[in-house]
Amino acid sequence: MSHDLLETLPLPQRLALSYAPASARAATLALLALDTRLAGVVLGGGEPMLAQIKLAWWRDRLGEPCDKWPKGEPLLAALEKDLGDGRGLVALVDGWESLLGEQFDVQEFAAGRAALWEALARRLGADARHVSPPARTWALTDLALGMPPGDERTTIMRAAEAQKQRQRLPRALRPLAVLETLARRALSGNRDALLDGPGAMLLAMRVGISGL
């Protein structure tokens, strides 16, 4: 598992990753690192046109066979080694790009970010039937918590609250269970962060160990 990629992850994702089974950890890291990279492109405060150019590059790469990917990009190398291809991940790029439009499509963004976990489930041979609702809850809550108070943040948090409660996920997807539980806690307590103190850490530990 690449320490350099691990260092790019936000703390909640890094904590959640620690509860992945050893056999799933590298692939989970590669996908979370891709999500973090795309988030930086869109939310980094640069020019929207430049962000779209960068997203187009990633869309092109993920839409072609990995043996055509350029060498020397550590994240692409990790995706090739630990995932095998970019199948299904173009939707993740599209989801992040939806934030750059004049009219933000909440569901497109949530579906795009859920594609990350669906791709992981396929890679690990896990049952993906119950992946989308918890993935959408986390995706939307995580986005909303990074926004200033206002109507847009409220709309996104309501969309997150409307997602179905998580059913028990396969052990291989334990990091998603941790992130969804932290998101639900933040929503129910009107909190400003997924990890806001010892209570959140203890909850993450409980779910990380038991899945419940």
What's the CA gap between 58 and 10, in Å, rounded?
A: 21
**Residue 3: band (very low, low, confident or very high) from pLDDT cuts 50, 70, 90:** confident
Residue 212: its pLDDT value, please? 87
The domain segmentation of the chain, as residue ranges, is 3-210
Residue 129: its pLDDT value, please? 85
Structure tokens at 96: 């992040």
Q: Are 6 and 15 in contact (CB under 8 A)?
A: no
What's the CA gap between 187 and 137, in Å, rounded?
A: 10
With 80 as the cut, is the pLDDT of residue 1 above it?
no
What's the CA gap between 137 and 166, in Å, rounded?
A: 9
Residues in the chain: 212
* Among 162, 199, 202, 165, residue whose Cα is nearest residue 180: 165
With 90 as the cut, is the pLDDT of residue 153 above it?
yes
Q: Sign of torsion, CA 162 151 180 24?
A: positive
Q: Mapping DSSP to helix (H, G, I), strand (E, B) and coil, where does residue 182 land?
A: helix
Structure tokens at 74: 């550590």
With 90 as the cut, is the pLDDT of residue 101 above it?
no
What's the CA gap between 150 and 139, in Å, rounded?
A: 18
Indicate the pTM of the whole model. Answer: 0.95
What's the CA gap between 176 and 142, in Å, rounded?
A: 13
Helix/strand/coil percentages in the chain, nearest 5: 70, 0, 30
What's the CA gap between 114 and 159, in Å, rounded?
A: 14
3-6 long-range Cβ contacts below 8 angstroms, 24+ apart: 4/74, 5/29, 5/30, 5/33, 5/74, 5/75, 5/78, 6/33
pLDDT tens digits, one per residue of 18-68: 999 999 999 999 999 999 999 999 998 889 999 999 999 999 999 999 999
Output DSSP code: residue 173.
G
Residue linked to tokens 């066979």: 65
Structure tokens at 165: 């409660």
